[in-house]
Amino acid sequence: MNETKKKKINITIAVFIAATLFIISNIFFKIIINSDLVNSELVDNRIYPYTFIFTILFGFIIYGLALGLGKTSFRATIICYSFIFVISILNEIKVSFSGEPLYFSDINFLSNTPELIQLVTENLSLDVVLSFLISISLFAIVLISIILLNRKFNFELKSDKSRIALVIINCLLLVFLFFPNSSMKDLYLRVFFNTDNHVGFDTYTTNLSFYSKNGFINGMYGVALNSRFTKPFNYNDKNLNDILEKTSDIQVSKKIGKPNIILFFSESFWDVDQLDEIEFNIPVSSNFNELKNEGIFVNMVTPTYGGLSENVAFELLTSANMSYFPNGYIPVMSLYSRNNTNKIPSLVKELKNNGYSSDIIFGKDYYNSEKAYLSMGFDNYVELVEDGQLNVSDEYMTSYLIEQLEKDKNSSNLYVVETIASHMPYTDDKYDSFNVEVTKSKLNESMNTVLKSYAQGIYNADIQLKRLYDYIQDYEDPTIIIFLGDHLPFLDTPEQENVIDSLEYFNTEDTLLNNYRLYNTQALLLSNFDIKGIDIPEYLGTDLLIDSLINHLDLDFTENGNYYKWLYSTKDLLPASNKIVSLDKDGKLYSTNDLQGEMKELYDTKDLMQYKFFIK
């Protein structure tokens, strides 16, 4: 074999190694999270081809840098594989004692190395150590074998100019990848994470499951991208302060004191009785519809469909709008991982500064969000467990809430209750017994089973709504219930058919109406005293729902008060919007991308305000 041909073969093998270097790390990572160290619910074994784009690109960049510095392909391979070996070890250690994967930002903790070593040694059990040693040993054998194979096909980069060029070019590529402006960040998210096609029902609920879906290196990069925000080009702090100052003297039509507030966040609750094409043997949401006459009914626009409940909660409790974050962004995981989360405003803090106590109560917290909610200002974080039940029932949740009300009399309290019983999947054995049956439908049997199971969950929640309402009528302290559904569910059959795709209600000839219906749920404000006359519009986004109520309480707002007053003042021009659809105060629909005039100006100003209060 002549030297030219041999060199071409060696270069080809080197390129192959660079392309597969970090793919091997992803395989190793899959082995880790499939082990007993990690809850299997976090594991996503599907293959997403676009996730390999960044992995391969990053492999080429690191290999190019190593080749420029090390001169030979053999040295470059040792450098790269040593790098991936070390970060894989660190990742497995971190996962095993914290349940969180490794981040690029973890380099900031190197100054606390002794404390970290002590923390790890105190939390690693013998089983974890043995599992760790076995997996690391197998990984080491694979890497050493590839390094030895590469030695046989070693080649040398003799030109100093080529080496310098490799180092410079790859350093520049790293700069472009890790210091993106807003436009570049959006581009990277679309290319490497397919965010244009992001849907709520196919998402991650922890950073570990995000890594599972996107790969180890891609996951690290995605978290790094989502933690970076750039100042909008037209941002002017003085202009925003002037706008806020003008709203400082806004007065509302009616003040209602400091009542207890119960935010009853019912999983996937939606009034299925609206479906003319489907008939059930009984009214499913009878109490909800009857109680509309007793309180204030609101048609909402939520930021998500099918999943990502915590993004809805984030909007409700902070009045931020998810439209101004990247697709798939989850603030309770990313925004609250920063060091200055105590500066992020929330309506919980405004209530707390006015003497309120606050509890957030979960049926199940899929997002490991305790730190985030305590940062929002909650006094107590509770995750309930019901004996003998996989998911906490709405009845058990309501009983717990009533017990708390009995304990907390003669004080102002905020209770945020997030249920879980009606979470998908919707199967024929989801409940021990069914009150609801589908009696008329053009759908197939499998779809009808899903609808029946979903409707039973709504029926159960509807009963508990009436129970809670009846209870507060005899409760001596002024109390408001805000009962709402977080988002529409993803009604998937075992055959992977989505029922919503087959329902005429969601598939009219009007695309804008279809989009609205997909992101529309309802809220009901009920009380044991007169709240008629407070100005809460019929159409609202989840970001303005609680803010609209807060502005009618007798509160002394803190330094963020003008911000929450200003947001309330926007309800007459742009009361509801997400990335796709917006509404005016009369319920007229608009495509968010096609907003014009004052509505467009206000939409953009909200973006700047959100940067000011949540990012800057």
Give the CA distances from residue 152 to residues 16, 141, 146, 188, 197, in Å, rounded to whole numbers and listed in that order. 14, 17, 10, 37, 44
Could you give the angle at which helices 3-33 and 126-152 cross, rounded to 10 degrees? 170
Tell me whether residue 239 is in a domain.
no
pLDDT at 204 over 60: no
d(Cα 478, Cα 528) in Å, to the nearest integer? 6
Tokens of 122: 């105190």
Do both 104 and 41 map to the same domain?
yes
Do both 214 and 129 map to the same domain?
yes
Residue 236: exposure state from Cβ atoms within 10 A (0-12, 13-18, ≥19): exposed
Tokens of 597: 């005039």
Largest Cα separation within the chain, whole Å, is: 95
List helix spans (H) across 102-159: 113-123, 126-152
Element (H, E) at 299: strand 296-301
Do both 179 and 322 map to the same domain?
no
With contact defined as beta carbons under 8 Å apart, do 304 and 598 qualify? no
Do both 284 and 191 map to the same domain?
no
DSSP 613: I
What does DSSP say about strands 296-301 and 539-541: parallel, antiparallel, or unpaired? parallel
Checking 36-44 for CB contacts under 8 A at 24+ apart, the result is: 36/127, 36/131, 37/95, 37/96, 37/128, 37/131, 38/95, 38/99, 38/208, 41/209, 42/205, 42/206, 42/208, 42/209, 42/212, 43/209, 43/212, 44/204, 44/209, 44/212, 44/213
- Which of the four pLDDT bands, split at 50, 70 and 90, describes residue 193? confident
- Which of the four pLDDT bands, split at 50, 70 and 90, describes residue 5? low
CATH of the domain at 339: 3.40.720.10
Tell me whether residue 241 is in a domain.
no
Tell me whether residue 254 is in a domain.
yes
- Higher-confidence residue of 457 and 219: namely 457
Tell me whether residue 422 is in a domain.
yes
With contact defined as beta carbons under 8 Å apart, do 398 and 467 qualify? yes
pLDDT in tens, 147-182: 676 666 677 777 888 889 989 999 999 888 887 677
Evaluated on CA atoms 599, 600, 603, 605, the torsion sign reads negative
For residue 566, give its domain range.
249-615
Give the CA distances from residue 150 to residues 8, 77, 138, 157, 485, in Å, rounded to whole numbers and listed in that order. 14, 8, 19, 15, 58
- Which of these ranges, 148-157, 317-326, 365-374, has the smallest mean pLDDT? 148-157
Do both 152 and 291 map to the same domain?
no
Do both 119 and 64 map to the same domain?
yes
pLDDT at 568 over 70: yes
Do both 222 and 254 map to the same domain?
no
What does DSSP say about strands 479-485 and 438-440: parallel, antiparallel, or unpaired? unpaired
d(Cα 97, Cα 129) in Å, to the nearest integer? 11
Do both 99 and 147 map to the same domain?
yes
Looking at the DSSP assignment, which residues form a beta bridge with residue 540? 300
Model pLDDT, residue 269: 93
Beta-strand runs (E) in 130-259: none
Model pLDDT, residue 454: 93
Model pLDDT, residue 429: 86
Tell me whether residue 196 is in a domain.
yes
pLDDT at 433 over 80: yes
d(Cα 336, Cα 344) in Å, to the nearest integer? 9
Tokens of 518: 């997909």
- Higher-confidence residue of 421 and 251: namely 421
Tell me whether residue 48 is in a domain.
yes
211, 226, 241 — which closes off a domain?
A: 226
- Which of the four pLDDT bands, split at 50, 70 and 90, describes residue 39? very low
* Percent of the chain whose pLDDT exceeds 70: 81
With contact defined as beta carbons under 8 Å apart, do 576 and 592 qualify? no
pLDDT at 527 over 90: yes
Residue with tokens 């806020």: 244
Element (H, E) at 261: strand 260-266
d(Cα 458, Cα 466) in Å, to the nearest integer? 13
User: Can you give 521-582 as a three-state secondary structure string?
Assistant: EEEEEEECCCCCCCCCCCEEEHHHHHHHHHCCCCCCCCCCHHHHHHHHHHHHCCCEECCCEE
Residues 6+ apart with CB under 8 A from 163: 67, 68, 69, 71, 157
Tell me whether residue 232 is in a domain.
no
As for how many domains the chain has, the answer is 2
226, 259, 289 — which closes off a domain?
A: 226
Do both 308 and 219 map to the same domain?
no
Output the DSSP codes for 385-425: --TT-SS--HHHHHHHHHHHHHHTTTS-EEEEEE--TTPSP
- Which of these ranges, 72-76, 126-130, 363-367, 529-533, has the smallest mean pLDDT? 126-130
Q: Which of 28, 215, 287 is nearest to 139 (CA)?
A: 28
Instruction: Give the chain's end-to-end CA distance (angstroms, integer).
Output: 62
Do both 453 and 593 map to the same domain?
yes
Residues 6+ apart with CB under 8 A from 464: 394, 395, 397, 398
Compute how many other C-beta atoms are within 10 angstroms of the C-beta atom of residue 449: 19
pLDDT at 362 over 60: yes
Mean pLDDT, rounded, for 249-260: 82
pLDDT in tens, 182-191: 777 778 877 8
With contact defined as beta carbons under 8 Å apart, do 451 and 499 qualify? yes
Element (H, E) at 381: strand 380-383
Compute how many other C-beta atoms are within 10 angstroms of the C-beta atom of residue 98: 12
Tell me whether residue 492 is in a domain.
yes
Residues 6+ apart with CB under 8 A from 210: 204, 219, 222, 223
Do both 578 and 470 map to the same domain?
yes
Query: Cα-atom radius of gyration of the chain, to the nearest Å?
Result: 27
Compute how many other C-beta atoms are within 10 angstroms of the C-beta atom of residue 126: 7
Residue 231: exposure state from Cβ atoms within 10 A (0-12, 13-18, ≥19): middle
Mean pLDDT, rounded, for 31-41: 50
pLDDT at 10 over 80: no
- Which of the four pLDDT bands, split at 50, 70 and 90, describes residue 32? low
With contact defined as beta carbons under 8 Å apart, do 220 and 602 qualify? no
Model pLDDT, residue 517: 93
Do both 362 and 485 map to the same domain?
yes
